[in-house]
Every structure is written in C-alpha cells, then in structure tokens.
Amino acid sequence: MEHTRVETRDTATVEELWQTVVPGARISRADDIQPAFVFSGAVDPGFGFCDYSIGSTMVVDSDPEDQMVVGWIAGPRIRATYRRDRIDTTVPFMVIDRPVEIAFSGRIAGTAMSFARSDVDAAARRLTGDDTLRVRPTGHAPVSDHRLRYWTRTWEYGRDVLLRSSERTPMIEQQVRSLLLEASLMTFPTTFTESLAAGRPARPLPAPVRRAKAYIEANAPGSVSLADIAEAARLSPRGLQYAFRTATGRTPMQYVRRVRLDAARADLRAADPSMDTVAAIAARWGFSNLGRFAAMYRAEFAETPSTTLRS
C-alpha cells in the first residue's frame, strides 16, 4: 500500500488527497483553511483508508462511484445529506450508488474508507454462498449498537496497523483490508445483511450454471442466445432454464440483461457527457429501444441513465 501524511492549507491539495480515497470527492465551496488540513492515508487499488482534520467553511460532494464508502465525521456544525435524508455523521455511515453532500463550518475530524464495488460483491457472495447477490443499500446507519461496537473495534485496529504501525507488512495490510470490508458489510444495512437475516443456505452453484454464467459474462457485448448459453453449459435449453432458475432465481436471459445493465452503467459513469450519449452506450450493450432501456435502468439503479452520465 502507498502511505501518505500531509499537512496543507491549499484547497486543491485537500481535494486531491480526499480523492485518493474517494475519487468522486469534489469541493464546491471553501473558505480559508484554518487550522491546516492534516491527512494520513493508506491506499491500494480498490481500497483507501484515511484519517483527517481540517478547519474551514466548506461544502463537499462525495460520489462513491463504483465503491462502498464508509465515513465518520465529528464537529460542531455539520450538515450531511444522502438520498435527500439528513444523516448523523458523528455515527459511522455508509454510502453506495448515490453521492453524499457534507457542509461544515469550524473544525472537524473524520475518517473514511472505500472498497471497490466488485470486491464488496465478491465478499458478500463468498460469505453468503449466494453467487447472484449484489450489495445494495437499504439504509446508511449501523444496524445495531452491537454491530457498531464490532465495527469500531475493527476500525481502531485497522487505523493502528495502516496508519501508525512501523512493523506492518503487505500480508498484514491485506488481512486488515479484508477485516475492514467484512466488518463494514456486517455493520451497515444492505441486501447482504438482509440475506444473512433470512438465513439463506450457502451452497455452490452447479457446474453447468457456473459455465453458463461465465459464457454470458464473456460474451455480453455480442449476440447471446439461449441456445449458445445452453451449449456452453452442456445442457439442453430447457434443462438450462430449469437449472439456472433453480440455482439463481432468474432465467439465463434475465442474467444477460443484468450483466449488460451493469456494463452500461459502468460506461455511463466513465463517459464524457459532451461527447458520449445514452443512446450510443445503450446500443453498445444491445439495448436498441432507448425507452425500454431507460425504464429497466431506472428500476434497477433508482436513477435515469442521463443522470448517471451527467454525474
């Protein structure tokens, strides 16, 4: 991991440092910084962790992009909004998919950590055994005081190792990263915690279903038919339909649509609104009817494709 410790009063540098942990962080308003911004961070591809303190009157928009972000901020005058709801930042909070706006005046101290969305989903699937699970938020505050205490102890250990220890090793850092991710998944309300509460059985997917999923994911940009998927899975089309629905709760072609929607969302986030269009990106992923694409996209991600493109 790359470790950084910086003290500065330059607003641009403050924004750049925050972006090492949350790439979508933007300062939209800032007065003089006094006292100085003090930042300690540890970053790795797909992961970031930092502690900071700063004094100013400032407005910050933090878009998690394709990440799960967990934060905790203390100060006398803070106003934070997530999904149009006011949130209490003095209690750890989690954001996925939508930006959080934080306005403060005076001195604050905070912490933030981020995890790549792909790592979050992979960990959730490994812990539940549900190979179709996608982590989506159902709230932002810890699910219970017990889970909050667990998260806090894990965070304190992670901070000591990643930011304070002189004897850390790459292996220990990776173990801490995994602990922090699992503690965050256990603590904040998502489809993962719902899955745990429902007691869904953990079982590996049958080999034909795994082959079908691998074929779909590899060939999603092109033409994919049920017959093609069945051939890759080494089943008849009817047998594949039954096996896939039994194992995943959806049909193979529904999974094709989901893979393509995820890919279109990733392209919309990375696109330049001045050059790229929703229609072109939708067509790239096989959605020829723009109205139907927009409706499916909004049902899946709770925002329009054009909103994602502009964000």
Residues 164-204: tens digit of each pLDDT:
988 888 888 999 999 999 999 999 999 999 888 776 544 56
- 150 in the same domain as 24: yes
Determine what percent of the chain is predicted with pLDDT higher than 70. 98
CATH number at residue 154: 2.60.120.10
Work out the mean pLDDT of the chain and round it to a whole number: 90
Question: 270, 156, 131: which is closest to 211 by C-alpha?
Answer: 131
- 221 in the same domain as 150: no
Q: Chain centroid to CA 228: how far? A: 32
Last residue of some domain: 160, 181, 202?
202
Please state whether 304 falls in left (phi above 0), alpha (psi between -120 and 50) or beta. beta
In the DSSP assignment, the letter for residue 222 is S
Cα–Cα distance measured from residue 19 to residue 26, given in angstroms and rounded to the nearest whole number: 8
- 249 in the same domain as 116: no
Instruction: Say if CB 305 and CB 268 are below 8 A apart.
Output: yes
- 153 in the same domain as 33: yes
Report field, pTM of the whole predicted structure over 0.75: no
Cα–Cα distance measured from residue 296 to residue 294, given in angstroms and rounded to the nearest whole number: 6
CATH number at residue 269: 1.10.10.60
Radius of gyration from C-alpha coordinates of the chain:
21
Instruction: Say if CB 204 and CB 179 are below 8 A apart.
Output: no
Residue 37 in this model has a pLDDT that exceeds 70: yes
The amino acid at residue 247 is A
Cα–Cα distance measured from residue 135 to residue 196, given in angstroms and rounded to the nearest whole number: 12
- 272 in the same domain as 156: no
- Taken as a whole, the chain contains a residue count of 311
- 187 in the same domain as 144: yes
Q: Which residue has the higher pLDDT, 248 or 91?
A: 91
Last residue of some domain: 202, 224, 249?
202
The domain of 259 spans 207-310
Distances (CA, A) of 252 to 109, 180, 249, 294: 48, 34, 10, 21
Residue with tokens 């999923």: 213
> Average pLDDT for residues 100-105, to the nearest whole number?
95
Last residue of some domain: 202, 220, 252?
202
Domain count, the chain: 2
- 246 in the same domain as 153: no
- 165 in the same domain as 22: yes
- 278 in the same domain as 161: no
- 231 in the same domain as 187: no
Q: Quick one: pLDDT at residue 141?
A: 93
- 234 in the same domain as 153: no
Cα–Cα distance measured from residue 64 to residue 70, given in angstroms and rounded to the nearest whole number: 10
- 216 in the same domain as 306: yes
In the DSSP assignment, the letter for residue 206 is P
Residue with tokens 């950084």: 4
Instruction: Say if CB 210 and CB 233 are below 8 A apart.
Output: no
Q: Quick one: pLDDT at residue 200?
A: 54
Dihedral sign for Cα atoms in the order 279, 280, 285, 289: positive
Q: Quick one: pLDDT at residue 199?
A: 65
pLDDT in tens, 115-162: 999 999 988 888 887 777 889 998 999 999 999 999 999 999 999 999
